[in-house]
């Protein structure tokens, strides 16, 4: 599984470098960022059981230009009594749509490994979308929705709200 994650991160990085160099007129900015979010997660199985709680998520990445970034998520925490989120780790390509100078919409696509106490560790292709609003030139408020796991008998989704700092 760790090989899959390393391969995914490598592929996303190479894709980001290629995308940023392919746009000769678009300046490469290589802007790193880190953030912290409240992670409102939900584990929903086909037998009608829903488990949800609140954990924490750290995210970070590098924005290559106004339209593309590579991002990683690390999360944990939260328990509803029958399921605990032990860990969440993923790597994603991030497509960005600047709506205005201070406001951006984005989509994420990548791979995630999730370890929930009820069923062990699972990995899957993950996707989601969100928005960011700049509070200052280096600080943004953001929110997103992610489908981290979509297995045949259950899904693991999360909505996150937090702050992001750009260097």
Neighbour tally for 45: CB within 10 Å? 16
Domain ranges of the chain: 31-166
User: What pLDDT is stored for residue 22 in this prediction?
Assistant: 47
- CATH for the stretch 31-166: 2.40.160.20
Cβ distance 105 to 97 under 8 Å?
A: yes
118: helix, strand or coil: coil
Strand partners, 95: 68, 107
CA distances from 72 to 12, 15, 117 (A): 11, 15, 22
Residues 6+ apart with CB under 8 A from 94: 61, 63, 68, 69, 70, 71, 106, 107, 108
**Residues 104-146: tens digit of each pLDDT:** 999 999 999 999 886 678 999 999 999 999 999 999 999 999 9
More confident residue, 23 or 163: 163
Strand partners, 99: none
**Residues 47-99: tens digit of each pLDDT:** 767 888 999 999 999 999 999 999 999 999 998 878 899 999 999 999 999 99
Q: What are the E-state strand segments in 64-119?
A: 68-76, 85-98, 103-116
Neighbour tally for 51: CB within 10 Å? 21
**Residues 9-35: tens digit of each pLDDT:** 444 444 544 444 444 455 677 999 999
User: What pLDDT is stored for residue 97 in this prediction?
Assistant: 98
Q: What is the pTM of this model?
A: 0.81
């Amino acid at each position: 599984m760790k090989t899959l994650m390393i391969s995914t991160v490598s592929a996303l990085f190479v894709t980001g470098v290629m995308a940023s160099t392919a746009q000769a007129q678009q300046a490469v900015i290589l802007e790193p960022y880190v953030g912290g979010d409240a992670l409102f997660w939900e584990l929903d199985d086909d037998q009608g059981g829903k488990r949800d709680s609140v954990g924490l998520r750290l995210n970070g990445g590098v924005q290559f230009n106004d339209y593309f970034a590579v991002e990683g998520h690390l999360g944990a925490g939260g328990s509803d009594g029958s399921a605990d989120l032990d860990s969440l780790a993923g790597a994603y390509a991030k497509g960005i749509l600047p709506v205005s100078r201070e406001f951006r919409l984005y989509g994420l696509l990548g791979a995630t490994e999730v370890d929930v106490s009820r069923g062990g560790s699972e990995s899957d292709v993950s996707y989601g979308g969100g928005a960011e609003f700049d509070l200052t030139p280096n600080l943004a408020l953001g929110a997103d929705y992610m489908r981290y796991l979509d297995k045949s008998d259950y899904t693991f989704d999360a909505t996150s709200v937090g702050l992001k700092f750009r260097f």
